[in-house]
Structure 1
Amino acid sequence: MSQSKQLSIFWLFRYLRPVKGRLAVLLVMLLSATALQLLQPRIIKQFIDTAAAQGVVSGLLALAGLYLVAAACNQLLTVAVSYLGNDVAWRSTNRLRADLLQHCLRLDMRFHNQKTPGEMIERVDGDVTNMSNFFSMFIVQIIGSFVLLAGILGYMFVSNWPIAVVMLLFTGISISAMVYVRDLGVNATQAERQAKAALLGLIEERISGIEDVQSNGGVPYVMNRFHRSMRNLFLTGRKAWMLRVVPWNATVVLFTAAVTVVLMLGVYMYMKGQVTLGTLFLFYQYTQMLNDPIEQIGNQVQEFQKAKSGMRRSREILSMQSEVMEGTGDTLPDGALGLQFEQVSFGYNKDSRVLHDISFNLKPGERLGLVGRTGSGKTSISRLLLRLYNADSGVIRVGGVDIRTLRLEALYRRVGMVTQDVQLFDGTLRDNLTLFDPRISDQDILATTGKLGLQSWIDELPEGLNTHLASGGSSLSAGEAQLFALTRVFLTKPSLVILDEPSSRLDAATEATLQGAVDQLLEQCTAIVIAHRLSTLEKVDKIMVLGQGRIVEFGDREALAQNPSTHFAQLLRTDRQEELA
């Protein structure tokens, strides 16, 4: 066995260790059921031979009762095996699902930008579901099948070796054929999973953009894409299924031949008086039973092909490493944090740079207004500061500490960001405002929401902070969502905060009311305010004008505003003219 296969099997078995006790019980029950399966035909053989010999009725009744008890016990064990097998599968696969989700959440934004949510659902759940049979029944079914085969063949060799030789040949050829083609459908199954992931990604993407799809007449185009994806899934799924059932088809042909030979030999021996009628039945019954473990092994080979494709895709995800590696530092200076960018360059891909040699310095407590055209690099600066991406070159320091040396949790404890898009989670209003942090008191929540103008909205809710909100954000207006995001960040009491277009969804009156509250909340921290509305930047200390990823201007706001030749002064004049118009 190759080293890679050994590592793959070892990787899977680590999820079975916590349920090894249940697996042992499962194996014992399966072996007990196998013993009962071997016993039942022998009871019927004895019953037939006793009846043919004009045996006493009490003996026949005793054999019938014994058969009923064995059949009932076998059925109970079958149900118990099915229940325990599913229990083992869920316990082990849920651990794998949790590991996959946790690993994905820790990967950098480059990875998440390449994967749609629909595809990630298929990776985290669909692929793992395909491995559930391996975790629950593969080992015990394989062992149980071989035990049943050994029991049938062993008894037949003792009873009648010619029949046993035919059965052994059938068994050997069938198992050899299945082993030979065991990986035949793995690649095709992997392609099938990828096609399903693409379909789910398409559905999720189009549903999330349903407003644009409907308002722009895109439904026919979406349906065309959907039908093409469905056809691709059908074709890849059909190919994978046809390759997976090759072992089963081979065993059907071999089984038909084996049953024919065994019946012909059995009838010949019965006609010669060499075996009884009960023994002839036993030959037939054991031949029928012989197909069950062979078919079970064939089914498990198919399931293993599915599991192997899921295993490959899951290991592919788990082997990915985030570009953003955590440091070990856990402390930053108390109070507002200073910020330094030192010759920072960055690009989302290697072919084009978004930021070029960005260098600036903010003292603790200062406020920086960041302006520039769309695509100038404003949001990229905030993403680098939060380590959603790594800078290609240069150093970013917070409180004099290189952010690459900090643990991400330590950085996020002190640095907050208000984004334009607000994500609501399925939970109470309190949970959504605190992001499920029980340490934040209701008094702090109400005080912050009162300053930001959300208190009246909360008072109108039927259960106040205990009101249940649906995920997605549809229960909030655009303005409420903006205030919601501000509340969420300021509840963490950040030492450095980034406000990305904090008033883009607010009307002028609400913005004016809100500005005082934001100023009050910003008193204890350093701030970067990204804005298109220059009115938002009236109380910042410094201004940075970006153009094509470079610093065009950087300096004190008042000095830049009073110098008519600066870019910022020109932007102010343009902004006033637009307001007058």
Structure 2
Amino acid sequence: MADQQKISMFWLLRYLKPVKGRIALLFILLLGTTGLQLINPQVIQRFIDEAAGSGGMAELLELAALFLVLAVVNQTMGVVVTYLGSDVSWRTTNRLRGDLLRHCLRLDMSFHNRKTPGEMIERIDGDVSSISNFFSMFIVQVIGSFVLLAGILGFMFTVNVPIAVVMTAFTLLSILGMMIIRNLGVQSSKNDREASATLFGLIEERIAGIEDVQANGHVPYVMNRFYRAMSSVFLKGRKAWMLRVVPWNVTVSLFTLAVTAVMLLGVRSYMLGEISLGMLYLIYQYTQMLNDPIERLGDQVQEFQKAKSGMLRSRELLSQQSDIQDGEDKQLPEGALSLEFDQVCFSYNKDKPVLQNISFSLKPGERLGIIGRTGSGKSSLSRVLLRLYNLDSGVIRIGGVDIAGLSLPALYRRVGMVTQDVQLFDGTLRDNLTLFNEKVDDEAIMETIEQLGLSPWILAQPEGLDTHLSASGSSLSAGEAQLFALARVFLAKPSLIVLDEPSSRLDAATEAMLQSGVDRLLRQSTGVIIAHRLATLEQVDKIMVVGDGRLLEFGSRKELAGNPSSHYARLLQSGREEELA
């Protein structure tokens, strides 16, 4: 446990180090506000003693004015301290959020298949928010509380030793109790965060599938799942809260005993004439002030338990390692790239192979059409080619280079892919076409969309390329969205292009326009086209037929079309393209 605490502290210091200047300023201001909190009751004590004695009106007005000035200065400094504390918190935790998001984006698809987007949002933002809440008040509340406690107890020892001893005993017992039970609710808080993440994942998943939910009458089922998830959040949250408030209950009990003893001793000293009425007030006020930092420490112990659960979950996420290891080769040959699959085997689950001993090769500039039934392994070929998953065995070479030894940036710089599901972003048409790459000029954009037949549509928009597009892409038809995705890939000028069923969402007229654009754009690249419409493959050089993860047929399109016994020729002859669906 001690080692884990040290690791956590070292981990936190990494994020606090860049804001050390602000923390130093915050500490100085804390000392100032603490000093003012200690002085103000003493001003009131003098006011009471002067009023009870023979003090003149001028002296009383001076003390009253001094109290008001100190109160205003204290409040102003308190605002600055709170602002600085929040600033330190957000600067620190935003760096952590960035690190978590960057790390998640680098993890392989096997990890993301196990996590819903809603759950990941909660992990990256929700868990860090609990750390942020702790950070924002930790320096202000915890360090400020200790400084105030030291000031109160130090002063009380100069006034009345017995009372100071009682107050010190109360303080030490309270702090000791909180230290002993500080981790009591950590695991329950972690379970609470996990239940919350599951709930967010459920909500995100159901909203993403809202059409299916409504169209198939699944709203009652979804609501049942929602209520069960909410019940789990409530039960785990209640347990975590009950364990977190134990430190507060302990301090309240100790304070009740302490304040009783202090007031009895104070009244006794006043009755014996050992202290003045003003000093009795000061003792009472300092006793109340002593409780405030103790309560704040108790509150921070609760926040610490929530924050620590967030730290543990964040460190757990950062410790996740991708199965995809980056290679060291940075370069691929110039121009169109050759492609070779050599005895490639792959499976998402070890007991269910998806690709089995796939071997074929393409020369630079050749086009390959891949056909097969749904579930035959067509899309899996593109996923392993892009290194979204690791192979079980075999080798894939691009331009004669084993992709396992190639750095991922070098691979993605030269290989482009258009998937069946098009992702559009909240931004302008230009942003969506260039993926926010400002280096791509408008001339290159217009040239590409002209070849894909999108220019009339874009020119018809009120602001052209500056027209804003929502993330849902509701202003685009399915075909237009697919053409957008194609333009996006071709603007990157890849040397090997994979089109995963590019015409799956297009009508016949749009498909013909798309085919013409693809033919022109593929002239400088090697192309792999995964299709379920045979008409899409009329211009390819090679055909590959796959079934149940095996290569059933591979060869020249013309030769296979002229061979009556080939799978491809039988499909052409029957004209039953639905067999590929």
Instruction: Sort the TM-score into its range (normalised by shorter chain).
Output: over 0.9
Q: CA deviation at 1:510?
A: 2.4
Aligned residue in 2 for 1:36: 36
Counterparts in 2 of 1:213-224, with a 5 A limit? 213-224=213-224
Q: Which residue of 2 aligns with 1:529?
A: 529
**Matched residue, 1:65:** 65
Matched, 1:449 2:449: yes
Does residue 230 (structure 1) correspond to residue 261 (structure 2)? The answer is no
Q: Do the aligned residues in 2 keep the contact of 1:16 with 1:135 (CA within 8 Å)?
A: no
Residues 577 and 22 from structure 1, CA distance in 2 versus in 1: closer, same or farther, beyond 3 angstroms?
Answer: closer
SS, match of residue 145 in structure 1: helix
Q: Which residue of 2 aligns with 1:503?
A: 503
Per the alignment, residue 132 of structure 1 pairs with 132
User: Which residue number corresponds to residue 149 of structure 1?
Assistant: 149
Q: SS in structure 2 opposite 1:15? A: helix
Q: CA-to-partner distance for each residue in 1:540-580, whole Å, 9 max, x for gaps?
A: 1111111111111111112212221122222222325879x
Sequence identity (%): 68
Whether the aligned pair in 1 keeps the contact of 2:364 and 2:525 (CA below 8 Å) is yes
**1:322 Cα deviation from its structure 2 partner:** 0.9
| Alpha-carbon shift at residue 304 of structure 1 (Å) | 1.0
Any idea what the Cα deviations from partners look like across 1:47-91, whole Å, max 9, x if unmatched?
111111121221111111111111111111111111111111111
- Listed as ranges, the matches of 1:26-425 within 5 Å are 26-425=26-425
Q: 3-state DSSP class of the match of 2:15?
A: coil
Q: Distance in 2 between matches of 1:525 and 1:410?
A: 16
Please state how far the C-alpha of 1:133 moved relative to its aligned partner.
3.4
Q: For residues 497 and 295 of structure 1, what CA distance do their matches in structure 2 show?
A: 63
Q: 2:534 corresponds to which letter in structure 1? A: L
Task: Write the deviation string for residues 161-204 of structure 1: whole angstroms up to 9, x where unpaired.
Answer: 11111111111111111001000111111111111111111111
Distance in 2 (CA, whole Å) between partners of 1:436 and 1:329 is 27
SS of the residue 1:14 aligns to: helix
8 Å contact kept, 2:82–2:140: no
Q: CA deviation at 1:144?
A: 2.0
For 1:234 and 1:32, locate their aligned partners in 2 and report how far apart those are by CA, in whole Å. 42
**Most deviating of 325-334 and 130-139:** 130-139
For the residue of structure 2 that corresponds to 1:545, the secondary structure is: strand
- TM-score between the two structures when normalised by the length of structure 1: 0.97
Question: Cα gap change, 1:450/1:243 in structure 2, threshold over 3 Å: closer, same or farther?
Answer: same
**1:513: Cα distance to partner?**
3.0
On the 8 A contact 1:531/1:537 being kept in 2, the answer is yes
Q: Partners of 2:496 and 2:225 in 1: how far apart? A: 45
Q: Which moved more, 1:3-12 or 1:21-30?
A: 3-12
Determine the C-alpha separation between the residues in 1 that align with 2:87 and 2:104: 26
- Uncovered stretches (5+) of structure 2, i.e. residues with no partner: none
Q: Secondary structure at the match of 1:16?
A: helix
Once the two structures are superposed, residues 405-457 of structure 1 have per-residue CA deviations (whole angstroms, 9 ceiling, x without a partner) of 22211111111111111111111101101111122221121111111111111
- Partner Cα separation in structure 2 for residue 272 and residue 345 of structure 1: 94
Which residue type is aligned with residue 540 of structure 1?
V
Distance 2:322 2:252 in 1: 49
Is the 2:379–2:500 Cα contact (8 Å) retained in structure 1? Answer: yes
In 2, Cα distance between equivalents of 1:67 and 1:516: 84
Counterpart Cα distance in 2 of 1:514 and 1:144: 67
Provide the C-alpha distance between the structure 2 equivalents of 1:447 and 1:304, rounded to a whole number of angstroms. 57
Residues 324 and 390 in structure 2, CA contact (< 8 A), matched pair in contact too: yes
Relative to structure 1, the CA distance from residue 577 to residue 521 in structure 2 (aligned partners, 3 Å threshold; closer, same or farther) is closer
1:546 aligns with 2:546: yes
Aligned partners of 2:534 and 2:577 also within 8 Å: no
Residues 54-63 or 79-88, more deviating? 54-63
Shift of 1:499: 0.9
Whichever residue aligns with residue 391 of structure 1, its letter is: L
- The equivalent residue for 2:483 is 483
> Offset at 1:390?
1.0
Matched, 1:493 2:480: no
Q: Distance in 2 between matches of 1:265 and 1:439?
A: 78
Structure 1 position 257, deviation (Å): 1.2
Task: Determine the C-alpha separation between the residues in 2 that align with 1:274 and 1:577.
Answer: 104
Q: TM-score of the superposition, structure 2-length normalised?
A: 0.97
Cα distance in 2 for partners of 1:380, 1:350 equals 15
Say whether the 8 Å CA contact 2:85–2:140 is kept in structure 1: no
SS of residue in 1 equivalent to 2:142: helix
- 1:3-49 deviations in Å (ceiling 9; x for gaps): 33212111111111111111111111111111111111111111111
**Number of equivalenced pairs:** 579
Identify the residue that residue 565 of structure 1 maps to in structure 2. Answer: 565
After superposition, give the CA deviation of every residue in 1:115-164 in whole Å (9 maximum; x if it has no partner).
11111111111111111134333245322212211111111122111111
Conserved? CA contact 1:478–1:505, under 8 Å = yes
**Matched residues in 2 for 1:169 and 1:369: separation?**
82
**Could you tell me whether the CA contact under 8 Å between 2:571 and 2:577 is conserved in 1?**
no
* 1:281-331 superposed Cα distances (whole Å, 9 cap, x missing partner): 111111101101111111111111111000001111111111111112221
Partner amino acid, structure 2, of 1:182? R
The residue type paired with residue 506 of structure 1 is: L
Give per-residue Cα distances to partners, 1:361-390, cap 9 Å, x unaligned.
111111111111111111011001111111
Q: Displacement, 1:493?
A: 1.5
Q: State how far apart, in whole Å, the 2-side matches of 1:578 and 1:193 are.
A: 47
**What is the distance in 2 between the residues matched to 1:190 and 1:578?**
51
Give the whole-Å Cα distance in 2 for the aligned partners of 1:4 and 1:262.
40
- Looking at structure 1, the residues matched to 174 and 511 of structure 2 have their Cα atoms a distance apart, in angstroms, of 77
Native 8 Å contact 2:416 2:489 kept in 1 = yes
Give CA-to-partner distance per residue, 1:513-564, whole Å, 9 cap, x none. Answer: 3322211111111111101111111121111111111111111112212221
